[in-house]
Amino acid sequence: MSTFQAPKGTYDLIPPESAKYLAVREAIAAPLRNSGYGYIETPGFENVELFARGVGESTDIVTKEMYTFETKGGSQLALRPEGTASVLRAALEANLHKLGNLPVKLWYSGSYYRYERPQKGRYRHFSQVGAEAIGAEDPALDAELIILADQAYRSLGLRGFRIILNSLGDKECRPVYREALQNFLRGLDLDEETLRRADINPLRVLDDKRPDVQKQLTDAPLLRDYLCDACKAYHEEVRELITAAGVVFEDDPKLVRGLDYYTRTTFEFVHDGLGAQSAVGGGGRYDGLSEMIGGPALPSVGWALGVDRTVLALEAEGVELELPASTSVFAVPLSEEARRVLFTKVTELRKLGIAADFSYGSKGLKGAMKSANRSGARYAVIAGERDLAEGVVQLKDMESGDQTAVGVNEIVAELESKLG
Ligand code: ATP
Ligand code: MG
């Protein structure tokens, strides 16, 4: 193992590509900030118990994918594999739900950790931006979140994503369906582990990606046919609201999600350019989660969008983000005095909000101009002894190649008007 190798299943975000990740996070966050969601940040690790209860003992995330460890003090902790349980825990701890202001709407952005088999789009460290609306049962809230995710992807220029939608029922109708599904699954030719799963959490068998399993599931009973009237009406209202917003979606009666806590509305954002790891984001309603982690009844809904896969989706579609040039002006001093003068000018430009950089070290003209080129700057400001003796600096337009002398005292104003 090389000292310079990131751990298996992880990778570094490095300029210039890293700018894309920032832009994606920003694009997902913008519609949330604009819709009453407040920013929340929680620790990178929590007590194991939170995820065991909140994500579910029978999920792959908890049984196989979680990084758990014991601290020197003897606490059992886990690196967070997802955001929802932590955000709800934090909201309960801060009593946000008692301020008489439900729903509590929060958004977050951060790193998540799952011990998975690394492959394209599937990493052991990845990043998500997520949103949770806690403490209200209102189809408009489910619709709002779906519409905001759609808006986020569209603002990035993504077109090839699809929204798939289903309802998982509630504590009234789901148990009836669960039993019907269990009876059906018991009649199939399944391996022992899958049969055990059918006993503990039969809905998750529907999510089995193996073709031989999927083939046997063709005639599985569908939750759609078991929804109670309240769930049916709720789901219909969500569908109508997102349709009225012009958001296109597909009903998928077999869509279930990997987490135990989902009820009613459930959805996934998929992108067909990503191969096997096609889900770029997902979410849904989790009316029972608060009680599962020991809180009061707080019906809630949320989603998490994967930043890594969103960047891959942009690449698959060939979308070039319009990233602002990181440097607009690059200063090239050719003498000691010029270093002092241009360094002062660069500082002034930066104070005015103009992105400026400087040729550091003692490079010759050729090396410094190479740096100026590489920086992507629109203008270079070059000065040597002779220029300063005449009270000027050379302003070079890096696009046209034109170079003109500008007075030392005028250069900042000149650049400000050119770039403004
Ligand atoms: P999958 O079915 O692909 O394993 P998931 O259902 O486990 O996805 P969620 O828990 O819903 O994923 O997480 C939401 C989003 O986070 C996913 O749609 C994906 O974009 C991203 N994500 C989840 N796990 C990973 C991972 N290991 N590497 C990169 N991104 C991930
Ligand atoms: Mg997964």
Residue ranges of the chain with pLDDT lower than 70? 1, 258-260
Examine the domain organization and report whether 396 and 290 are in the same domain. Answer: no
Give the ligand 1 atom nearest the CA of 121. 29
Pocket of ligand 1 from Cβ distances under 6 Å: 82, 114, 116, 121-123, 126, 128, 257-258, 277, 279-282, 304, 306, 308-309
In this prediction the pTM is 0.93
Nearest to 254 by CA among 204, 294, 193, 313: 204
- Of 317, 346, 367, the residue at which a domain comes to its end is 317
Tell me which H or E stretch contains 370: helix 365-375
**pLDDT value at position 13?**
98
Residue recorded with tokens 């009061």 = 296
Long-range contacts of 376-380 (CB under 8 A, 24+ apart): 376/325, 376/326, 376/327, 377/325, 377/327, 377/328, 377/329, 377/330, 378/325, 378/328, 378/329, 378/419, 379/328, 379/329, 379/330, 379/415, 379/418, 379/419, 380/329, 380/330, 380/331, 380/332
Instruction: Tell me if 99 is assigned to some domain.
Output: yes
Cα distance between residue 103 and residue 62, in whole Å: 28
* Same domain assignment for residues 277 and 390: no
DSSP assignment letter at 69: E
CA distance linking residue 101 with residue 78, whole number of Å: 31
Instruction: Provide the pLDDT for residue 101.
Output: 86
Does residue 309 sit in the same domain as residue 367?
no
Question: What is the predicted pLDDT for the residue at 326?
Answer: 85
Domain count, the chain: 2
**Could you say which of 291, 317, 343 is where a domain stops?**
317
Structural domain for 242, as ranges = 17-173+227-317
Residue 258's pLDDT is 64
- Give the mutation target among 80, 126, 145 for probing the ligand 1 site: most ligand atoms within 8 A of CB: 126
Residue 264: its pLDDT value, please?
Answer: 96
Please tell me whether residues 350 and 276 are part of one structural domain. no
Which amino acid residue places its CA nearest to atom 19 of ligand 1? 306
Task: State how far the Cα of 127 lies from the Cα of 306, in Å rounded to an integer.
Answer: 6
Tell me: do 278 and 333 sit in the same domain. Answer: no
**What pLDDT score was predicted for residue 180?**
94
The closest-lying atom of ligand 1 relative to the alpha carbon of residue 258 is 6
